[in-house]
């Protein structure tokens, strides 16, 4: 079989072997996480930052994240740019690298991100040396502002968080892929492996999947399914769209005026 050429994927110079990012929320049992990581092939995983609750005795999610995974802390819980910046600095103080997924959500009905606040937080944190991956609506102007603000990638949502509705923002994401010269990582809303595959086929650089895997009947098998869907979609994109057969149409040629055989 012919070798498939190496397909480089980098975030701020850090080379990644997988284009699937995982989350750690909503698992019935965090002990599934190591198997989920292994089955998916993912190398990046998100975590959130919360006040410790010594009375809960729920165990620590860090006990379950393989050491080889790169941590991508998020700023969930932040309602303003300042809160996101505060959470990001605390997360970095944890000593697990300077990647940060900025998430600023002030609307609890739809959990949609606040683009303007996200841009401001990105500006501040990028200047402090963070590798900033902002979670935003699939909006061209916001994405352009994020480029100027120093983001390392743009993470547009496919559908509202946790809805599993797939690529509802397809056309807007397509525009970001075309226009934005940063990795585009589709985050949120991807409910099925086919959704992730579609995003990758369109040319997205990566996808982040949490709920769909964590809440599947069999999270480990679902993780593997997403891993393979992401690889298949990427290969489909790299291979270029198939040559559909051109339809023959004898009626009134558009180039008949040129004389000779136009077709």
Partner 1 sequence: MHVIINGKPEDISLGTTIQKLIEAKKLDPSRVVAELNRKIVPGDQFQETKLQEDDRLELLQFVGGG
Partner 2 sequence: MSFAEVMNAYAGLDIAKAIQGCQRQDVIRALNKDRLRPEDLLALLSPAAGNMLEDLARRAAQVTLRQFGRAVQLFTPLYVSDFCVNRCLYCGFNAAQAGPRRQLSLDEVRAEAEALAATDLKQVLLLTGDARHKATLEYLEGCLGVLRGYFPSLILEIYALTTQEYVRLIAAGAEGLTIYQETYDQDRYARLHPSGPKRDYAFRLDAPERGCAAGMRWVNVSALYGLGDWRLDAFWTAMHARWLQDRYPGTEIGLSLPRMRPHAGGWQPDEPVSDRVLTQILLAQRLYLPRAGITLSTRESPTMRENLLPLGVTRLSAGVSTSVGGHGATKTGTPQFEVADNRSVAEIAAMLRGRGFQPVFKDWQPF
Q: Which residues bind partner 2 (CB under 8 A)?
A: 174, 178-179, 240-244, 246, 249, 253-255, 257-258, 260, 262-263
In the numeric block, which tokens belong to residue 116? 């303007």
26 catalytic? Reply is no
- CA 136, chain centre distance (Å): 11
Name the CA dihedral angle for 11, 16, 20, 25, rounded to a multiple of 10 degrees.
-80
- C-beta of 122 vs 210, nearer to partner 1: 210
Buried b / exposed e along 188-210 (16+ C-beta atoms within 10 A) = bbbbbbebbbbbbbbbbbbbbbb
Instruction: Determine which one of 64, 92, 101, 224 is catalytic.
Output: 101
Among 18, 27, 172, 227, binds partner 1 (CB under 8 A): 27
241's contact among partner 1, partner 2, none, with CB below 5 to 8 A by partner kind, is partner 2
Residue 55 or 249 with smaller CB distance to partner 2: 249
**Is 102 within 8 Å of 121 (Cβ atoms)?**
yes
By beta-carbon proximity to partner 2, the closer residue of 13 and 240 is: 240
17 near partner 1 (CB under 8 A): no
Binding mask 74-103 for partner 1 (x = CB under 8 A): x-x------------xxx-xxxx-------
Q: Which run of H or E residues covers position 131?
A: strand 131-136
First-to-final CA distance of the chain: 36
In sequence order, what DSSP letters do the residues of 68-98 get, joined into one string?
Answer: TSEEEEB-TT--SHHHHHHHHHHHHHTTS-S
Active site amino acids = 101
Site of interaction with partner 1 (CB under 8 A): 23-27, 30, 46-52, 54, 60-62, 71, 73-74, 76, 89-91, 93-96, 161, 188, 208, 210-211, 214
């Amino acid at each position: 079989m012919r070798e498939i050429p190496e397909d480089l994927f980098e975030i701020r110079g850090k080379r990644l072997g997988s284009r699937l990012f995982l989350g750690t929320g909503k698992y019935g049992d965090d002990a599934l996480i190591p198997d989920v990581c292994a089955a998916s092939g993912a190398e990046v995983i998100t975590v959130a930052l919360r006040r410790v609750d010594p009375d809960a005795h729920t165990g620590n999610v860090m006990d379950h994240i393989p050491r080889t995974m790169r941590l991508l802390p998020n700023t969930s819980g932040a309602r303003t740019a300042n809160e996101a910046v505060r959470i990001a600095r605390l997360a970095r103080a944890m000593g697990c690298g300077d990647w940060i997924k900025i998430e600023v959500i002030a609307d609890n009905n739809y959990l949609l991100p606040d683009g303007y606040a996200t841009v401001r937080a990105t500006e501040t944190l990028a200047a402090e040396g963070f590798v900033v991956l902002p979670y935003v609506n699939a909006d061209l102007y916001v994405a352009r502002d994020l480029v100027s603000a120093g983001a390392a990638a743009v993470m547009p949502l496919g559908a509202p968080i946790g809805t599993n509705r797939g690529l509802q923002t397809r056309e807007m994401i397509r525009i970001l892929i075309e226009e934005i010269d940063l990795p585009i990582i589709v985050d949120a809303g991807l409910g099925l492996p086919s959704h992730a595959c579609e995003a990758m086929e369109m040319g997205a650089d990566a996808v982040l999947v949490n709920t769909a895997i964590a809440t599947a009947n069999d999270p480990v098998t679902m993780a593997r399914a997403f891993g393979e869907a992401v690889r298949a979609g990427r290969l489909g994109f790299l291979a270029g769209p198939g040559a559909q057969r051109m339809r023959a149409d004898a009626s009134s040629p558009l180039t008949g005026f040129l004389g000779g055989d136009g077709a």
